Amino acid sequence: MFKKKRPLGDSGRVVGGGGSGAARGNVEIELKGAAVGASKKATQRMTTQAMTTQTAGDKAEELALAFLLSKGLRLVQRNYRVARGPALRGAEIDLIMQDRNGTLVFVEVRSRSSRSHGGAAASVGHRKRQSLLLGAQHYLMQLQVLPACRFDVVEVEDERCNWLPAAFDASR
């Protein structure tokens, strides 16, 4: 994040606001005439944005949501979060969906760029399952009637979705 304009010699300057865009990797570079070409007097702007993990995760969730909607599931809630306190991690459920038969589906969306570490589904370990269970229990406490439930995983790799219904058993 840039608080002051810092010169880059005669070629231009970095323009940084200090807003959230700069913190996410957005950098604006203003190039002046000499750097662009002697005949050009106008200033040109270039904006670059690094693909962050959060951006990739959001894109994977969008793809997974569109995929599940096309399979007949209905969206109940996105990004359901539970806080456990300042020092303890809470829980987040990426998507809460409802199947055609009324089953409540808690969905974890996993995205990986390669299968070198086992793929996206292999990354849902014991600790993540416990976190999903905490989130699901918290969500279910708000309901008057408890529906049938299951935990699904949608792995997104190379913009393709692989749906794993009932990916793990919550009773273990």
Greater model confidence, 14 or 128: 128
Taking only the tens place, the pLDDT of each residue in 93-108 is: 999 999 999 999 999 9
The amino acid that residue 142 corresponds to is Q
Which of 38-52, 69-83, 101-115 shows the lowest mean pLDDT across its residues? 38-52
For residues 129 and 163, what is the distance between their CA atoms, to the nearest angstrom?
17
For the chain, give every domain's residue range.
6-49, 53-164
* 65, 75 contact by CB (below 8 A): yes
How many other C-beta atoms are found inside a 10 Å radius of the C-beta of residue 154? 26
CATH number assigned to the domain covering 53-164: 3.40.1350.10
Two tokens, residue 165: 């219904």
- The length of the chain, given as a count of residues: 172
Quick check: pTM over 0.95?
Answer: no
Closest CA to 122 of 158, 168, 71: 168
